[in-house]
Structure 1
Amino acid sequence: MSRIKPYLYSLVSSQGLLKLQRAVAEWRRKQADKPHLVSVYLRINDPHSYLLLQVLPILAERYNIDFDFRTVLRLQEDMYPAPQLWEQHAFADSAFLANQHGLTFPKTPPTTTPALAKYATAQLLHAELQGDYLEQATEIFKHYWHDQEDALNTCIDPRIQRNMECYQHHLLANETRLHNNGHYLSAMLHYGEKPGGEWYWGLSRLAYLEQRLTALGAVKNVTTPSPSTELNTKPNAASNTGNNGESTPISDKIPIILYWSARSPYSYLGLVRAKALAARYDIPLIVKPVLPMVMRRMQVPRQKGLYIFKDTKREAEKYGIPFGFAADPLGAAVERCYALVDYASEQHCANLFLEIFTRSVWSEGIDAATDTGLKKIVEAAGLDWSHAKTLLNNNDWRHWAQENLLDMYDKGLWGVPSFHYRQLSVFGQDRLDRVECALREVYIAEQI
Structure 2
Amino acid sequence: MTHTADVYWSFRSPYSYLATRRYVELTKKYDLRINQRFVYPLAIRDPDFFEKNHPNWLGYTFRDIFRVAQFMDIPLAPPNPDPIVQDVQTRKIAEEQPYIFELTRMGQAASRRGKGLEFANEVSQLIWGGTPGWNEGDHLKGAAERAAVNLDELRAEANTQPEELDAEIADNQKALEASGHWGVPTLVFEGEPFFGQDRIELAVWRMKQKGLAER
**Residue in 1 aligned with 2:71?**
318
Compute the displacement of 1:360 (Å). Answer: 0.5
Q: Counterpart of 2:75 in 1: which secondary structure?
A: coil
Q: Deviations over 1:375-401 (max 9, x none)?
A: 343344343344444334241321111
**Residue in 1 aligned with 2:104?**
338
Computed over aligned residues only, the root mean square deviation of the Cα atoms, in angstroms, reads: 2.5
Q: Give the alignment partner of residue 180 of structure 2, picking from 399, 412, 419.
A: 412
Q: Give the alignment partner of residue 83 of structure 2, picking from 307, 329, 333.
A: 329
Matched, 1:364 2:113: no
User: In the aligned structure 1, how far is the partner of 2:66 from the partner of 2:190?
Assistant: 31
- Going from structure 1 to structure 2, the CA distance change for 1:423 and 1:351 (only over 3 Å counts) comes to closer
**Residue in 1 aligned with 2:34?**
285
**Residue in 2 aligned with 1:421?**
189
User: In the aligned structure 2, how far is the partner of 1:286 from the partner of 1:386?
Assistant: 22
User: In the aligned structure 1, how far is the partner of 2:157 from the partner of 2:136?
Assistant: 14
Q: Which amino acid aligns with 2:167?
A: H
User: In the aligned structure 2, how far is the partner of 1:407 from the partner of 1:296?
Assistant: 15
Q: Deviations over 1:265-286 (max 9, x none)?
A: 0011122222222332221011
- Going from structure 1 to structure 2, the CA distance change for 1:288 and 1:324 (only over 3 Å counts) comes to same
Instruction: Count residues in correspondence.
Output: 194
Contact 2:69 2:76 in 1 (8 A): yes
Compute the displacement of 1:258 (Å). Answer: 1.0
Q: Counterpart of 2:77 in 1: which secondary structure?
A: coil
Matched, 1:262 2:5: no
Contact 2:108 2:169 in 1 (8 A): no
Within-5 A mapping of 1:168-187: none
Compute the displacement of 1:342 (Å). Answer: 4.5
- Going from structure 1 to structure 2, the CA distance change for 1:413 and 1:365 (only over 3 Å counts) comes to same
Gaps of 5+ in 1: 1-250
Q: Which amino acid aligns with 1:416?
A: V
Q: Counterpart of 2:181 in 1: which secondary structure?
A: coil
Q: Which amino acid aligns with 1:400?
A: E
Contact 2:38 2:108 in 1 (8 A): no
- Going from structure 1 to structure 2, the CA distance change for 1:389 and 1:435 (only over 3 Å counts) comes to closer
- Going from structure 1 to structure 2, the CA distance change for 1:306 and 1:358 (only over 3 Å counts) comes to farther
Q: Deviations over 1:71-110 (max 9, x none)?
A: xxxxxxxxxxxxxxxxxxxxxxxxxxxxxxxxxxxxxxxx
Higher relative contact order (CA 8 A, sep 6+): 2
Q: Counterpart of 2:37 in 1: which secondary structure?
A: strand
User: In the aligned structure 2, how far is the partner of 1:344 from the partner of 1:366?
Assistant: 23
**Residue in 1 aligned with 2:24?**
275
Q: Counterpart of 1:364 in 2: which secondary structure?
A: coil
**Residue in 2 aligned with 1:375?**
141
Contact 2:19 2:197 in 1 (8 A): yes
Contact 1:256 1:278 in 2 (8 A): no
User: In the aligned structure 2, how far is the partner of 1:414 from the partner of 1:388?
Assistant: 27
Q: Counterpart of 1:409 in 2: which secondary structure?
A: helix
Q: TM-score, normalised by structure 2?
A: 0.77
Of the two, which has the highest radius of gyration?
Answer: 1
Compute the displacement of 1:369 (Å). Answer: 4.7
Compute the displacement of 1:287 (Å). Answer: 1.3
**Residue in 2 aligned with 1:149?**
none
Contact 1:254 1:422 in 2 (8 A): no
Matched, 1:308 2:61: yes
Within-5 A mapping of 1:27-176: none
Compute the displacement of 1:419 (Å). Answer: 1.5
Percentage identity across paired residues of the two chains: 24
- Going from structure 1 to structure 2, the CA distance change for 1:379 and 1:279 (only over 3 Å counts) comes to closer
Within-5 A mapping of 1:6-25: none
- Going from structure 1 to structure 2, the CA distance change for 1:306 and 1:357 (only over 3 Å counts) comes to farther
Contact 2:6 2:34 in 1 (8 A): yes
